[in-house]
Amino acid sequence: MLDLKFVRDNVDRVARMLQDRRVDMDMGPFLKLDEQRRALLKDVEQLKYERNRASEEIARRKREGLDAEDLIDGMKAVSQRIRDLEAELGAIEDRFRDILMLIPNMPHESVPVGADETANPVVKTWGHPPSFDFEPKAHWDLGEALGILDFERAARMTGARFTLYWGAGAALERALINFMLDVHTMRHGYTEVLPPFMVNRTAMTGTGQLPKFEKDLFKLEGWDYFLVPTAEVPVTNIHMDETLEEDDLPKYYTAYTPCFRSEAGSYGKDTRGLIRQHQFNKVELVKLVKPEQSYDELETLLLNAETILQELGLHYRVVVLCTGDLGFSAAKTYDIEVWLPGQNTYREISSCSNFEDFQARRANIRFRRKGKKKTELVHTLNGSGLAVGRTLVAVLENYQQADGTILIPQALRPYMHGMERITARR
């Protein structure tokens, strides 16, 4: 959520931002409601002021044993008027708030203006695509042939976009999770947390998934709980409604969670393999920092995520999302795209964003500078460190051998009990 006063004072900038983001939204109703709201608020508060003064007078007279019936009678009408105006005001404030909650974040000045992902500039490339003296296969063929990925049975017990992992496949997924968590906790200074995998509406609103994107979420029937679409939600909301001390910052958290996404609107996209699942594993990095540090922190967050790919020897590139491709809550986002030789393409494997104070304002996460009375909003950041399923895809496709086996990257072998190669399951 943007600051109300900022929006009011910068309507033109906000309107231009909406254009840059290719969001079709008119600020007219917002301004009109704001005006109505403030006029009404003034009236209501004036009436309440009168009522409060009268109440004091009534109390005083009663204490002194005097009659106050005339005042009480007069206040009946005032109170009724207050009730009427408050009902009107309440309706306007609801609509006003609804609009405010649907305005996306202001992109950082360094974010390029562009229509869609084709306008995302590549800012960094690491390593090289591996060369094969055979035609590299896609992971779904490799995984099925090795008997480690089973799409058919998962579809039977659940449905499309779910996968059953077997044997070394399941172990590899688990190894990746542990490897990533170890790197981030032991080398990058993050504190590991294991949050709930379901959260309530308030938490979802705090990080910006609600109210706008409810259709992308899995909701529990009979409960106002949602399955987390990313650990960003429970982890960023750890400090919801808290005022931290300056010395508490920065906070670095890492968490493994499964992620659940309805993938509404992506019918027919990436239907094969592990790329787009309703349930996938992810190790997430979350930072709460002081405002003046957040862009430096974004750079190190990106490097922390990149480290995983480098350790695994996987070729990747980094792009900056342009305004048209930038997520609702983000001010700036880097996507890391890993090379997938089986599909001859780069695929997003991490998304690292600075949300500035957009989430902090919604989730009410503040801090107090030493010796200062006034509290300020923290800046929040997060990034995948990494999407585990897609990392497994990258390992399978990049480390495949001519005979269909998979060489296990050195960094993962300790996590695989020394296993060096995945061969067909008997």
Residues with Cβ within 8 Å of residue 81, at least 6 apart in sequence: 47
| Beta carbons within 10 angstroms of residue 38's beta carbon | 11
Question: Exactly one of 25, 72, 85, 407 binds RNA (CB under 7 A); which one?
Answer: 72
Helix residue ranges per DSSP H, 27-164:
28-63, 69-102, 139-146, 151-157
CA atoms within 13 A on the CB side of 221: 0
CA-based nearest residue to 377, from 249, 196, 191, 255: 249
Which region among 72-80, 337-345, 378-386, 399-407 touches RNA (by CB under 7 A)? Answer: 72-80
Site for RNA in 29-48 (CB under 7 A): 38, 41-42, 44-46, 48
Question: Exactly one of 1, 17, 33, 75 binds RNA (CB under 7 A); which one?
Answer: 75
Rounded Cα–Cα distance for residues 284 and 307 (Å): 14
Measured in degrees and rounded to the nearest 5, phi and psi for residue 332 equal: -160, 140
Residues with Cβ within 8 Å of residue 359, at least 6 apart in sequence: 206, 207, 208, 236, 329, 365, 380
Q: Is residue 101 part of the contact set for RNA (CB under 7 A)?
A: no
Rounded Cα–Cα distance for residues 366 and 265 (Å): 36
Choosing from 317, 348, 368, 421, the catalytic residue is 348
Q: Is residue 106 part of the contact set for RNA (CB under 7 A)?
A: no
> Are the C-beta atoms of residues 367 and 245 closer than 8 Å to each other?
yes
- If the CB atoms of residues 101 and 145 are measured against RNA, the closer one turns out to be 101
The SS3 call for residue 110 is coil
- If the CB atoms of residues 61 and 421 are measured against RNA, the closer one turns out to be 61
Q: Judge whether 261 counts as a catalytic residue.
A: yes
Question: Exactly one of 55, 185, 279, 401 binds RNA (CB under 7 A); which one?
Answer: 55
Q: Judge whether 390 counts as a catalytic residue.
A: yes
Question: Exactly one of 6, 9, 16, 49 binds RNA (CB under 7 A); which one?
Answer: 49
Question: Exactly one of 5, 215, 417, 426 binds RNA (CB under 7 A); which one?
Answer: 5
Question: Exactly one of 9, 59, 91, 123 binds RNA (CB under 7 A); which one?
Answer: 59
Choosing from 351, 356, 362, 366, the catalytic residue is 351
Q: Judge whether 421 counts as a catalytic residue.
A: no
DSSP state of 8: H
Mask of contacts with RNA, 209-248, x by CB under 7 A?
----------------------------------x-----
Give the interface size with RNA as a residue count (CB under 7 A). Answer: 32
CB of 75 to RNA, least distance (A): 3
CA-based nearest residue to 328, from 18, 15, 12, 3: 18
- If the CB atoms of residues 33 and 388 are measured against RNA, the closer one turns out to be 33
Beta-sheet pairing, 242-245 with 365-368:
parallel
CB of 154 to RNA, least distance (A): 24
Q: Judge whether 276 counts as a catalytic residue.
A: yes
Beta-sheet pairing, 421-422 with 332-340:
unpaired
CB of 81 to RNA, least distance (A): 11
Rounded Cα–Cα distance for residues 313 and 128 (Å): 9
Q: Which two structure tokens, joined as six digits, stand for 126?
A: 């690491």
Expressed in angstroms, the distance from the first to the final Cα of the chain is: 54
User: How many residues comprise the chain?
Assistant: 426
Q: Is residue 51 part of the contact set for RNA (CB under 7 A)?
A: yes
CB of 76 to RNA, least distance (A): 4
Choosing from 161, 261, 347, 362, the catalytic residue is 261
> Are the C-beta atoms of residues 123 and 318 closer than 8 Å to each other?
yes
CB of 44 to RNA, least distance (A): 7
Residues marked active site are found at 261, 276, 348, 351, 390
Binding site for RNA (CB under 7 A): 4-5, 38, 41-42, 44-46, 48-49, 51-56, 58-60, 62-63, 72, 75-76, 78-79, 90, 243, 371, 373-375
